[in-house]
Amino acid sequence: MDKCELELETMISDLKLETLFMPRTEKKQVITSADINRPALQIAGYFNHFDSSRIQIFGMVEHDYLVEMDHDTRCRNIDRFFSYGFPCLIVTRGLSLPDDVMKLARKHGVPVLRTEKHTSAFTSRIIYYMNAKLGPQITQHGVLVEVYGEGILLLGESGVGKSETAIELIKRGHQLVADDAVIIKRVTSTRLIGTAPELIRYFIELRGIGIINVRRIFGVGAVLEQADIDMVVNIENWDVTKTYDRLGIDTQYTDILGVRLPSITVPVKPGRNLAVILEVAAMNNRQRRMGYNAAEELNKKILDDMESRQQ
């Protein structure tokens, strides 16, 4: 699993945060944990199980509690709080911190940031943002395309035809996300997004031709920077000794980063149009997600017909 880091300056820019204090350092400050914390217990002086790798957020409750606390207790608890050296403190609702709190932040070199957003709205925003930036991720050999709004991850051995299939899909109006290497990131417990490494984004390797730039040849509408991954398609050479699923009643799954994705195996042999097959697979996957399964409907009709004949 790849290790992720997020530069503090990048987060400040993306979330449009105001900087109240930023320590002077030549070393870039990075965030490594996607989790956040509202340190109500720490303000009160309880530090057991305190995770100093998390971003800390002060809302109205924390702010008012600090203001009402007597000066000596506040300084003692906040001094210990900042001594843990967490990545930053973010104050919501445009609130201002007491001068002694800001003085202690400077003493320990902890960045203090501010947003005008309400605490609940900002918390939801930053949780999603941090998961997208720092969620668990892996790099998978394969191709990611979006077909009719469905993100399809093509897996298979080198030379089986993944890139050629992607080109045919692009010609049919669909979009490429990544070829050869796909960075897969889990942003929620049920959602994966995929993108291409920056170095090879928009490029495809076609054996016999070489490297092509999809955006240059087919236009900006032929590519996406990232897409949700909705299903996995395993492409393999046709094996006459193997039995392939012909009905599709039972859904098969592939586990990636703890997320179960519906998957199918498509055997390759001369005369099969993989692009058309994947278009149908994308539409069928969307129907299944909406609760309709053609194989189950046909099976029910057959059983009902058998039952009626026996009566």
Catalytic positions, written as ranges:
141, 162, 180, 246
C-alpha distances in Å from residue 73, one per residue of 63, 80, 101, 310: 15, 11, 12, 84
Total residues belonging to the chain: 311
Q: Are 228 and 192 in contact, with CB atoms under 8 Å apart? A: yes
Residues 206 and 164 sit within 8 Å (Cβ to Cβ): yes
Could you give the CA distance from residue 132 to residue 264 in angstroms, rounded to a whole number?
27
**Which residues 6+ apart lie within 8 Å of 166 measured at CB?**
143, 145, 154, 176, 179, 204
Q: Are 164 and 154 in contact (CB under 8 A)?
A: no
Rounded-to-integer distance, Cα 20 and Cα 89, Å:
10
